[in-house]
């Protein structure tokens, strides 16, 4: 969510939705950015592009959710080649 008013541009923040789900995704993204090769490369690319930590971590959360959703939809196990 943004905090803009007229010409003022404030910081963006993540809020709303289901807090327990968001907390679980956040912790999974923190672990994944260190130990999951797909998320690690994605996170490092975002940081190298100058994205702040929280923006890159939130992007990892979304990517992780997308990967998990695709795995459930296709009834597959984790495979880095398909991520």
At 23-42, the pLDDT tens digits run 999 999 999 999 999 999 99
Residue 83 has what DSSP assignment? -
1 within 8 A of 12, measured Cβ to Cβ: yes
Token pair recorded at residue 17: 């939705």
What predicted TM-score, i.e. pTM, was given to this entire model? 0.78
Q: Residue 62 — pLDDT band, cuts 50, 70, 90?
A: very high
């Amino acid at each position: 969510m943004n905090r803009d008013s007229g010409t003022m541009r404030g910081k963006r923040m993540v809020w709303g939705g289901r807090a327990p789900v968001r907390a679980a995704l956040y912790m999974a993204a923190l672990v994944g950015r260190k130990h999951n090769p797909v998320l690690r490369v994605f996170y490092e690319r975002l940081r190298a592009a100058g994205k702040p930590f929280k923006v890159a971590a939130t992007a990892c959360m979304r990517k992780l959710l997308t990967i998990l959703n695709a795995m459930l939809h296709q009834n597959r196990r984790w495979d880095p080649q398909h991520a």
